[in-house]
Chain A
Amino acid sequence: MTETVPHHEAGVSRALDLLRSANARLVSIFGSTDSGNTDDNRVRRVHYLIDVNGREYRMFTSPVTGPIPSATPITPAAAWYERELHDQYGIACAGHPDPRPLLFHENWPENVHPMIDDTSHVPWIDNDNGGQYRFLKVQGDGVCEVPVGPIHAGIIEPGHFRFSVVGDTVLHLELRHFYTHKGTEKLFENTPLMDGVMIAESVSGDNCFSHAVAYCQAIENAFSISVPPRAQAIRLIGLELERMMAHIADVGALCGDVGFSVPAAYTARLKESLLQASTRFFGTRFWRGIAVPGGLTRDLSSAETGEFGGRVTAAARDFAQMARLILHTSSVQNRFESTGILTAEIARQLAVVGPVARASGIRLDVRRDHPSGRYRNINVDVPQYKYGDVLARARIRIDETAISRNLINETLKELPAGSVLVPVPLSGNAEALSAVESPRGELLYWVRIRDGKITRCHIKSPSFQNWPALPLAMPGNIIADFPLINKSFNLSYSGCDR
């Protein structure tokens, strides 16, 4: 449901009024310039996407001519969205407590906003232009600053963490990300509908199928296309398999971070067995190139469903046994319990989503709250834990792996017959929204299409939403537990930075 308000004061204030109410959760704030009407082109617009009562997405949009009032004082979850809005569109948010640049570092000139300005003249300069990012300074006797990153030990994505510590104890953590910022939303502009899915698959490679399905559903919603039931079912299988692989790998990595290497190696093996099952039955390890607007490029023959299901079941069974062992190991309990607590109150203020929210007592799941495709026909169990520590986040992933296995097996048993692809009109103008529950939480694509091309694609990534919560789980913990706490959130840098 979209409301367009002609005068920006009215539109923005209605969105802010709604955000003040208890039943609203901020989903995203983003800009655009093209309203789908040629005369209006180049007029900047702001969009507020809000989840009302946990069941309905509402969008407010209005043109912008000058600064708009910031939503951050009402809901801190708006802070990064409004910083991004300024970086991309030059829309200032009056009253924002932290208007520092977000997307670009010192190498980018001030006052060049890539979504509205020509960027072809901005050269890459070898060293930065002398600017210095202002980190919050924590001062006092014995306070030390520990800078970590952007390059970390291990095979991980880049990002910067600035710890203020006394001894081993962390007083404050500040993030500086967007090292992998690739201007992805800009790249979507003027992309043909069928090609956009390739960009979506490269937003966060380990969740590429979730991104592909979210993008494809947005296109399908725009043209009111219904995808054949068989394609919906196989999409569900792919989404749940991606979740299983992510959760199994995460639990294993948590064990690796507490020096429990046997389950770490064992779970790595289980994940690989699922990647190889994907290769065997779908010809791709990460389900790239499978989802396209209108359905799927690949089907599963009925002779194969049994064997595929068997492999999924075997991996889930072995994982469940290993998980019991992990949870009953006292050294693991000692490290996981009460480490990195994210309270429900902070999680709510920052509108945290996904397994991190569910481990902090917030029962949100797109599959249940805003179902699409096959999820409309089924009930999804949504587990919840209230402690918000590393253990709760590990337990959520263990429980959800079993739930995903059941969803896959039930779907395989009742796989509808028929084709897996319907044609999509390659012309026309439309706008639409689509949400899926990725392994990291609520993932949302909003697209605007004109003459069969994407003119704007906004990606609300669960990692962008959840990263600001990580620093608030750190104070009082020792710095040596940071890798463990960070892993228990397991957020994507590329998905956040885009």
Chain B
Amino acid sequence: MIGDAVERSLRSPQVLISVGELLSNAAGSRMPDVQPDLLTGEVARRVVAACPTSALKIDEAAGREYLVLNYGDCIACSRCIAAGSGAFRYAEKVARCGVSKAALVRRWDIQSRTEVVENEPALSQAAEQIRALVGRALNIRQVDAGSCNGCEAEIVALTNPYYDLERFGIHFVASPKHADMLLVTGPVTRNMAAALKNAYDAVPSPKLVVAVGACGCSGGIFGGSHAVVGPVDAVIPVDGYIPGCPPTPSMLLTGIVQVLRPFSSPSRRRWS
């Protein structure tokens, strides 16, 4: 019988998704993207009014108006897409995964209808040290600090045969003492804050922390609750942020790889 199972599995079609297709792929995440050529002041005001979490804002600087989209606050409700008259659409790719908190924010100059591209702030020192140390092997301890389990469902999916995280040398481990990285989901609840700190302290240095999901990045819709302390970085230091509600497995993988991106040394094999 077990032989039949193995045989059936071997006969089933290859479903592994190639690295090129995976990276930044946001299909099914419902995250928004902006078509800058259709952006107007009126559209901007409408989407800002529609956004339930203030992920969208209008900034004024030096007499110019900028539309600001903070992916870390976005719960992917898609109201901006409904209200945006074509200027907003479902993102096919979200590259802002595994980046600094500042890099979760995108800005568009409304008058000139162009995106303001800023240099990405440097990653933390721990990231550099870990990259040098781990090469292509990374041990991750996942900690749910209060999530709704949507992010967990997607993190579990990373290990299925479509995404096969292990092909990158990335493993989930049972103990924080074996981990290089904590992958933390959820708004940190009062009841989990102490356990999260303990887990962080148990990870040997140098260590990385990646905050996952709208709740992990910003507190999400739970940010104002009496039972919630705040986003992950309210309790422990965070090196990279992966937005989404929940982020798709592709976005999670992109974020993990991004934080860990190998040095530009030509001797090192690259993932992409």
B148 to chain A, nearest CB (A): 4
A210 to chain B, nearest CB (A): 13
B152, A283: Cβ atoms under 8 Å?
A: no
A187, B160: Cβ atoms under 8 Å?
A: no
B162 lies within 8 A of chain A by Cβ: yes
- B153: chain A residues at CB < 8 Å are 205-206, 286
A179-B191, A205-B147 in contact; A186/B225 too (CB < 8 A)? Answer: yes
Stretch at the interface among B2-10, B99-107, B124-132: B2-10
A182, B187: Cβ atoms under 8 Å?
A: yes
A157, B191: Cβ atoms under 8 Å?
A: no
Contact with A along B194-215 (1 / 0, CB 8 A): 1101010000000000000001
How many Å lie between the Cα of A180 and that of B153 in the bound state? 16
Minimal Cβ-Cβ distance residue in A for B159: A268
A153-B175, A187-B221, A272-B160 in contact; A107/B1 too (CB < 8 A)? Answer: no
A334 lies within 8 A of chain B by Cβ: no
A161 lies within 8 A of chain B by Cβ: no
Stretch at the interface among A1-9, A62-70, A196-204, A362-370: A196-204
- A276: chain B residues at CB < 8 Å are 28, 162
A204, B148: Cβ atoms under 8 Å?
A: yes
Contact with B along A283-312 (1 / 0, CB 8 A): 111101100000001000000000000000
A147 lies within 8 A of chain B by Cβ: no
A397 lies within 8 A of chain B by Cβ: no
B188 to chain A, nearest CB (A): 9
A158, B157: Cβ atoms under 8 Å?
A: no
- B29: chain A residues at CB < 8 Å are 285
- B142: chain A residues at CB < 8 Å are 155
A180-B192, A272-B162 in contact; A266/B12 too (CB < 8 A)? Answer: yes
Minimal Cβ-Cβ distance residue in B for A112: B226
Chain B residues numbered 102-153 whose CB sits less than 8 Å from any CB in chain A: 142-153
A265-B9, A285-B28 in contact; A114/B149 too (CB < 8 A)? Answer: no
- A108: chain B residues at CB < 8 Å are 190
A465 lies within 8 A of chain B by Cβ: no
A269-B12, A269-B160, A325-B5 in contact; A182/B146 too (CB < 8 A)? Answer: yes
- B69: chain A residues at CB < 8 Å are none
A494 lies within 8 A of chain B by Cβ: yes
Stretch at the interface among B38-46, B59-67, B70-78, B259-267: B70-78
- A124: chain B residues at CB < 8 Å are 190, 193, 229
Minimal Cβ-Cβ distance residue in B for A492: B149
A398 to chain B, nearest CB (A): 15
A322, B8: Cβ atoms under 8 Å?
A: yes
- B248: chain A residues at CB < 8 Å are 285
B170 lies within 8 A of chain A by Cβ: no
A151 lies within 8 A of chain B by Cβ: yes
B20 lies within 8 A of chain A by Cβ: no
Chain B residues numbered 175-193 whose CB sits less than 8 Å from any CB in chain A: 175-176, 186-187, 189-193
How many Å lie between the Cα of A122 and that of B228 in the bound state? 11
Chain A residues numbered 113-160 whose CB sits less than 8 Å from any CB in chain B: 114, 119-120, 122, 124, 126-128, 150-151, 153-158
Contact with A along B67-92 (1 / 0, CB 8 A): 00000000111100010000000100
Contact with B along A170-207 (1 / 0, CB 8 A): 00000000111111101100000001001100111110
A279, B28: Cβ atoms under 8 Å?
A: yes
A419 to chain B, nearest CB (A): 16
B247 to chain A, nearest CB (A): 10
Minimal Cβ-Cβ distance residue in B for A273: B15
A114-B226, A202-B222, A329-B2 in contact; A181/B191 too (CB < 8 A)? Answer: yes
In this complex, the interface size class of chain B, counting residues with CB under 8 Å from chain A, is: 35 or more
A205, B149: Cβ atoms under 8 Å?
A: yes
A114, B144: Cβ atoms under 8 Å?
A: no
Q: Which single member of A105, A186, A328 contacts B191 (CB below 8 Å)?
A: A105
Q: Which single member of B150, B160, B228 contacts A206 (CB below 8 Å)?
A: B150
How many Å lie between the Cα of A128 and that of B195 in the bound state? 11
- B143: chain A residues at CB < 8 Å are 151, 158
A202, B150: Cβ atoms under 8 Å?
A: yes
Chain B CB count within 10 A is highest, among A114, A124, A157, A187, for: A124
18 sampled A-B residue pairs with Cβ under 8 A: A126-B193, A155-B142, A155-B152, A156-B152, A158-B143, A158-B144, A181-B190, A181-B227, A182-B146, A183-B227, A183-B228, A202-B215, A202-B222, A206-B153, A262-B6, A266-B12, A268-B160, A286-B150
With A105-B190, A205-B147, A325-B5 known, 15 other A-B pairs at CB within 8 A are A151-B143, A157-B152, A181-B191, A181-B227, A182-B189, A205-B246, A208-B148, A265-B160, A268-B157, A268-B159, A269-B15, A272-B15, A272-B162, A283-B90, A288-B76
Q: A: which residues have CB within 8 A of B?
A: 103-105, 107-108, 114, 119-120, 122, 124, 126-128, 150-151, 153-158, 178-184, 186-187, 195, 198-199, 202-206, 208, 260, 262-263, 265-266, 268-269, 271-273, 275-276, 278-279, 283-286, 288-289, 297, 318, 321-322, 325, 328-330, 492-495
Q: Closest 8 interchain pairs by CB?
A: A205-B150, A279-B28, A153-B174, A183-B227, A119-B226, A268-B160, A205-B148, A183-B225
